[in-house]
Structure 1
Amino acid sequence: MAEITNFRGESTPNNPADDAEASVKDLIARVGDRVRKARERRGIPRRVLSEISGVSPRYLAQLEAGEGNISIGLLQRVAVALDHRIEWLVGEDDPWTSDAMRVADLFRVANTEVQQTVLQALNPEPEQVMRAQRICLVGLRGAGKSTLGARLGEVLDVPFVELNAEIEEQSGMPVDEVMALYGQEGYRKLEAQAVSRVIATHETLILAVAGGIVAEPETYKSLLSNFHTIWLRASPAEHMDRVRAQGDERPMAGNPEAMEQLKSILKSREALYDKARAQLDTAGQTIDASLASLLELVKERGFITQK
């Protein structure tokens, strides 16, 4: 039992009720912190979580602030009194007979090397499972991500999503306004949240992302882990010509060095794009020819299995 020192300098046993109260506060704070982190990792706003769960936004705010339902605290008091972790009381399995609970306890106290060995044994093909039947098209502007992605989605009868559209829906404003209001850092944060949201809500889809996403290590790592990534390539001149053909003159407007800058960007990102699981060169190809090559690549690699 813990001891405290009184005003005379004497050590006296701490009150068990105080220990229980501290344990309750720690639990409620821990639960709130985990709820908030899980929500942020999936990129789900609190109001959306409220709609999905049926729990009021006010209660969710209290929960994340560490002011959750006191019944959790009362349960923790019982667990402390019984000298057991609260997981033993809330789990579906009988802690006295369950092999799963015994393994969980052994795993918790094992060293890192043993834990990694166990994880690999239980999940021998995690990457394939994580990627499901999601395809992500990466590459510079003008590579054909939006055009080919939409056409591929139609042929395979799967959803096509542009990540910037997800960002706009989440923020309630066009990407240009997001950049103007929040800057590059704010945009990248929304971009990462949008990726997490797409992963959480789609097992099968074609996703097109902005060219610069590969320069964000954590976000790109998430794409590589959770999608079958395909780098759509083209020559610098074709990148530029295609963007201008779409009516966007900004790349060349008042900037005679635009082409050299584009080449420099492409060169700096080549090693990152090269991490994609597959590549498709669309240089000199018509849209139909590129689509046929992309479809063949997807089928050969088994990225999406048609019913």
Structure 2
Amino acid sequence: MSDRVALETEPAENATVAGLLARVGQRVRQAREQRNISRRVLSESSGVSPRYLAQLESGAGNISIGLLCKVADALDLRIEWLVGEEDPWTSEALHMAEMYRQAEGPVQAQVRELLLEAAPGGRRAQRICLVGLRGAGKSTLGRLAGAALDVPFVELNREIAEVGGMPVGEIMALYGQEGYRKLEADALDRVIATHDQVILAVGGGIVAEPGTYNRLLAHFNTIWLKAAPEEHMARVRAQGDERPMAGQPEAMAQLKSILQAREALYERAHALLDTSGATLEETLERLLALIAQEHFLG
């Protein structure tokens, strides 16, 4: 019985080996021709004899792995390109992998950053950040969502005050916008380092700082809380903050201008929640549904 099984499986195994050898030979020949390399030059570069190369390209060469590695190195290819079932010249994934391998270090770093940012369960997983203008409801909704989901809620301005050792208003008065932005970046790094799971509310202007905003996008699932300018203004005033209107007859026009200028930046967020015309309870319900739908907490 065992002899018969062996006889039946031998043809299949032989066909598999023959197919592999033919595939490797075809790809070696194709790569050599694309690079305009003669078989003699390839032989000198790889240390594999011309006779062996001829057998390899014809599909008749039972070449060792060691020699095949030398051929792949001489052709500047990964050995997987020669033996894999996918055709490297038609597979977009393999083509992109080869482009990455040959790219300069800074380009590879940018690619890794983008892939890590988009990867499910990547470094953004378990962290949520609410962005938007003042009056969007970031602090109120963030606190309520954190309580509902049993996730820590953090306001970045509080972290900035702690890092700076004084209230944000005093930081602005003493160090100006530049000093504040530096502390803002430091505070963000601290949140990233200390919270694997968090809901964060940030100041509306953080999106105008490219380095800080890119870091935010890379490490947090960001949600833009969008509202009409009139609602932004009304909510801020309802909180007892008259600064937006004090001595500012053109405050609404300025608010609209700021919103327009930052809109493209806010649109880089991973999700959008329009809070216009909705009650706090309705908005919270929609926010929790959005977080669940997008799997922002895993």
Scaled to the shorter chain, the TM-score interval is 0.5 to 0.7
The whole-number CA distance in structure 1 between the counterparts of 2:210 and 2:171 is 21
Within the candidate set 207, 222, 232, 1:214 is matched to: 207
Report whether the alignment pairs 1:180 with 2:173.
Answer: yes
The whole-number CA distance in structure 1 between the counterparts of 2:271 and 2:114 is 22
Partner residue in 2 for 1:259:
252
Q: Deviations over 1:108-164 (max 9, x none)?
A: xx9862768988999995223121210000000000000000000001101000000
Within the candidate set 203, 219, 226, 1:226 is matched to: 219
Q: Deviations over 1:63-85 (max 9, x none)?
A: xxxxxxxxxxxxxxxxxxxxxxx
Letter of the 2:142 partner, please give it: G
CA RMSD of aligned residues (A): 2.4
The whole-number CA distance in structure 2 between the counterparts of 1:123 and 1:272 is 18
Report whether the alignment pairs 1:270 with 2:263.
Answer: yes
Partner residue in 1 for 2:183:
190
The whole-number CA distance in structure 1 between the counterparts of 2:235 and 2:110 is 45
Partner residue in 2 for 1:294:
287
Within the candidate set 115, 126, 135, 1:133 is matched to: 126
Within the candidate set 149, 156, 180, 1:156 is matched to: 149
Question: Judging changes above 3 Å, is the alpha-carbon distance between structure 1 residues 150 and 132 closer, same or farther for their aligned structure 2 residues?
Answer: same
**Secondary structure at the counterpart of residue 231 of structure 1:** strand
**Secondary structure at the counterpart of residue 131 of structure 1:** coil
The whole-number CA distance in structure 1 between the counterparts of 2:224 and 2:111 is 32
Q: Deviations over 1:232-275 (max 9, x none)?
A: 00000000000000000010011110000000000000000000
The whole-number CA distance in structure 2 between the counterparts of 1:120 and 1:261 is 36
**Secondary structure at the counterpart of residue 170 of structure 2:** helix
**Secondary structure at the counterpart of residue 238 of structure 1:** helix
Q: Which has the larger radius of gyration?
A: 2
The whole-number CA distance in structure 2 between the counterparts of 1:235 and 1:122 is 37
Letter of the 2:237 partner, please give it: R
Partner residue in 1 for 2:103:
113
4+ residue stretches of structure 1 with deviation over 3 A? Answer: 114-125
Question: Judging changes above 3 Å, is the alpha-carbon distance between structure 1 residues 224 and 119 closer, same or farther for their aligned structure 2 residues?
Answer: closer
Letter of the 1:113 partner, please give it: A
Partner residue in 1 for 2:193:
200
The alpha-carbon deviation at position 218 of structure 1 amounts to 0.2
Question: Judging changes above 3 Å, is the alpha-carbon distance between structure 1 residues 256 and 156 closer, same or farther for their aligned structure 2 residues?
Answer: same
Question: Judging changes above 3 Å, is the alpha-carbon distance between structure 1 residues 124 and 189 closer, same or farther for their aligned structure 2 residues?
Answer: closer
Letter of the 1:242 partner, please give it: R
Letter of the 2:157 partner, please give it: N
Normalising by structure 2, we get a TM-score of 0.62
Question: Judging changes above 3 Å, is the alpha-carbon distance between structure 1 residues 260 and 154 closer, same or farther for their aligned structure 2 residues?
Answer: same
The whole-number CA distance in structure 1 between the counterparts of 2:171 and 2:112 is 43
Partner residue in 2 for 1:279:
272
Question: Judging changes above 3 Å, is the alpha-carbon distance between structure 1 residues 257 and 275 closer, same or farther for their aligned structure 2 residues?
Answer: same
**Secondary structure at the counterpart of residue 168 of structure 1:** helix
Report whether the alignment pairs 1:247 with 2:278.
Answer: no
The whole-number CA distance in structure 1 between the counterparts of 2:255 and 2:109 is 43
Report whether the alignment pairs 1:238 with 2:231.
Answer: yes
Unpaired stretches in structure 1, ≥5 consecutive residues: 1-109
**1:57-76 counterparts in 2 under 5 A?**
none
The alpha-carbon deviation at position 223 of structure 1 amounts to 0.5
**1:2-151 counterparts in 2 under 5 A?**
113=103, 125-127=115-117, 128=119, 129-151=122-144
Normalising by structure 1, we get a TM-score of 0.60
Unpaired stretches in structure 2, ≥5 consecutive residues: 1-99
The whole-number CA distance in structure 2 between the counterparts of 1:289 and 1:234 is 14
